[in-house]
Amino acid sequence: MRVSSESELAEAIRDASGPLTVMGGGTRPVGRPVDGTPLSVAGISGIRLHEPGALTLVAAAGTPMTEIEATLAAAGQRLPFEPMDHRALLRTEGSPTIGGAVATNASGPRRVLAGACRDSLIGVRFVDGTGQIVKNGGRVMKNVTGYDLVKLMAGSHGTLGVLSEVAFKVLPRPETEATLVLHGLPAEQAVAAMSAALGSPYEVNGAAHLPDGRTLLRIEGFAASVAYRSEALARQLAEHGRADPVSAHDSVALWAGVRDVAPHLDEPGDVWRLSVKPSDAPGLAARAGGAALFDWGCGLVWLLRPEGEDLRARLGAFQGHATLVRASHETRARIAPFHPEIAPIAALSAGLRARFDPRGILNPGLMG
């Protein structure tokens, strides 16, 4: 089923007689497989408003990411949260949509400084499980009028409602960027170097450690400022070894690789995503074994594991959570892709779903 307007979407949901598999571009099949009638919102497309002087963008949920990025780039702007493109990792095809980025709260390396998708999102329109159109937030970046359902919708994977329109605070695109590369640090020392960098006043907005032992630190801004801050940062990190600068051009490619989990793309196996306290990350990665890509100053770990393994059983209890992002249909049906929640939180989540989607037809079971 494909709808091309919000009212058609509302009608489709109202008339649905069974579960729906909600999708935008269909490039991010994350979570427990849902056996439902496909419902695509890719036809609800188009930029509704872009006001560069107010740093705001409003777009229909099915708008392709490429269109969003091109529109913003033409005005020297961009989305702050550097959303990942899941296609290579999940081996999907199609055109990612902005609604899909919001539904998955897709947030790339810059999340460590600029916040996640949910932090830039300032307004939503969606259709709940009864077919009712709901709006929350708006097009202004400061808004505390009523409850913040905007945050609730980000990362709800279509389980509370189907997004029809999303609004963002956007940011100026920096004049240039630079990346410092440290070589050969073990993960424990890499996290220390990244903590020092992120704790410095130099506004490091990317901090990653690759399986090949490179540690990357990114700085963006006006050219003179970037030069100044990279030099100052390199000096501050002297105890961790030499920090080699790479060109802006190479820097862009390096971070696209971190964003899209390049080190694990061509490797067989399942891919898990750990969200943890940064200093816990090296220990957890060692306990897991296998190749690890650390992002967000080690707050995010992408682990490559043998197919079908339940990583959570292997890790035991830890602070944070583990999501199974890439695995076969069979594995994702067997091992909960989303980290099981403790009872009172699970009860709240279930209570919200039961109220937003009383018939349980929107991606039922996808998040557990």
Partner 1 sequence: MMDMPIPDAMVLDRRDRIIAGLLDLLPAEAVIHDPMETRAYECDALTAYRCAPLAAVLPATTQEVAAVLRLCHAEGVKVVPRGAGTSLAGGSLPTADSIILGVARMRAVLEVDYPNRFIRVQAGMTNLSVTGAVEEDGFFYAPDPSSQLACAIAGNIGMNSGGAHCLKYGVTTNNLLGVTIVLMDGTVVELGGAHMDAPGLDLLGVVCGSEGQLGVVTEATLRILPKPEGARPVLIGFESNEVAGECVSDIIKAGVLPVAIEFMDRPCIRATEAFAKAGYPDCEALLIIEVEGSAAEIDEQMGLISQIARKHDPVELRESRSADESARIWLGRKSAFGAMGQINDYMCLDGTIPVSSLPHVLRRIGEMSRDYGLEVANVFHAGDGNMHPLILFDANKPGDLERCEQLGADILTLCVEVGGCLTGEHGVGVEKRDLMTAQYDPADLEAQLRVKDAFDPKWLLNPAKVFPLDATASRRAA
Q: If 0-12 CB within 10 Å is exposed, 13-18 middle and 19+ buried, where does residue 18 land? A: exposed
Question: Which tokens belong to 231?
Answer: 């030099």
Closest to partner 1 by CB, 1 vs 113, is 113
Closest-CA residue to 217 (of 119, 127, 72, 110): 110
| Binding residue (CB under 8 A) for partner 1 from 154, 243, 271, 285 | 154
316 binds partner 1 (CB under 8 A): no
Write down the least CB distance from residue 268 to partner 1, Å: 26
Write down the least CB distance from residue 223 to partner 1, Å: 9
271 binds partner 1 (CB under 8 A): no
| Binding residue (CB under 8 A) for partner 1 from 40, 45, 105, 179 | 105
Closest to partner 1 by CB, 29 vs 221, is 221
Task: DSSP for 38-73, please give it.
Answer: EEE-TTS--EEEEEGGGTEEEEETT-BHHHHHHHHH
Applying the rule CB under 8 A, the residues between 239 and 268 that interact with partner 1 are none
- Rg of the Cα trace of the chain? 21
139 binds partner 1 (CB under 8 A): yes
| Binding residue (CB under 8 A) for partner 1 from 47, 88, 171, 262 | 171
Write down the least CB distance from residue 36 to partner 1, Å: 19
Pick the stretch among 20-28, 205-213, 225-233, 285-293 that binds partner 1 (CB under 8 A). 225-233
98/160 Cα distance (integer angstroms):
17
Give the containing element (helix H, strand E) for 348.
Answer: helix 343-356
Closest to partner 1 by CB, 49 vs 286, is 49
Applying the rule CB under 8 A, the residues between 16 and 75 that interact with partner 1 are 51-56, 75
Backbone angles phi, psi at 139, to 5 degrees: -120, 15
Closest to partner 1 by CB, 229 vs 326, is 229
Closest to partner 1 by CB, 40 vs 169, is 169
- Are 106 and 84 in contact by the 8 Å Cβ rule? The answer is yes
146 binds partner 1 (CB under 8 A): yes
183 binds partner 1 (CB under 8 A): no
231 binds partner 1 (CB under 8 A): no
Closest to partner 1 by CB, 137 vs 245, is 137
CA dist list (Å): 5 to 11, 100, 150 = 10, 16, 20
* Cβ count within 10 A of residue 16: 18
Closest to partner 1 by CB, 255 vs 296, is 296
* Helix, strand or coil, per DSSP, at residue 364: coil
